[in-house]
Amino acid sequence: MIVAVMAAILVTMLLALARAFLGPGRYNRILAINMFGTKTVLFVAVSGYLFGRPEFLDIGILYALVNFVAVIAVLRLTHETESDAA
């Protein structure tokens, strides 16, 4: 059952990557990258449970924090470049 969950997470990660590359706009692409990061955290947590390695949760929490800060930074950077162009 856990293997099926991991496979489903991988499929959603691939769909998020496809959305990131093919997305209609900049913000949709950023949202897809954020979703990919969230699914990566979930994948790390599930794989840590599957392999009996609880320290993987620490890695997942750290990755979630880095993902959040990176998305906020990218959104701030894109907002500044749009307001400068106007």
Model confidence pLDDT, tens digit, residues 27-80: 899 999 999 999 999 999 999 998 999 999 999 999 999 999 999 999 898 877
Structure letter (DSSP) for residue 53: -
Q: Is the pLDDT of residue 20 over 90?
A: yes
Tokens of 9: 């997470």
Structure letter (DSSP) for residue 52: T
Q: Rounded to the nearest 10 degrees, what angle do helices 2-22 and 26-51 cross at? A: 160
Q: Say what the pTM is.
A: 0.83
Q: Give the pLDDT confidence score for residue 37 in this predicted structure.
A: 94
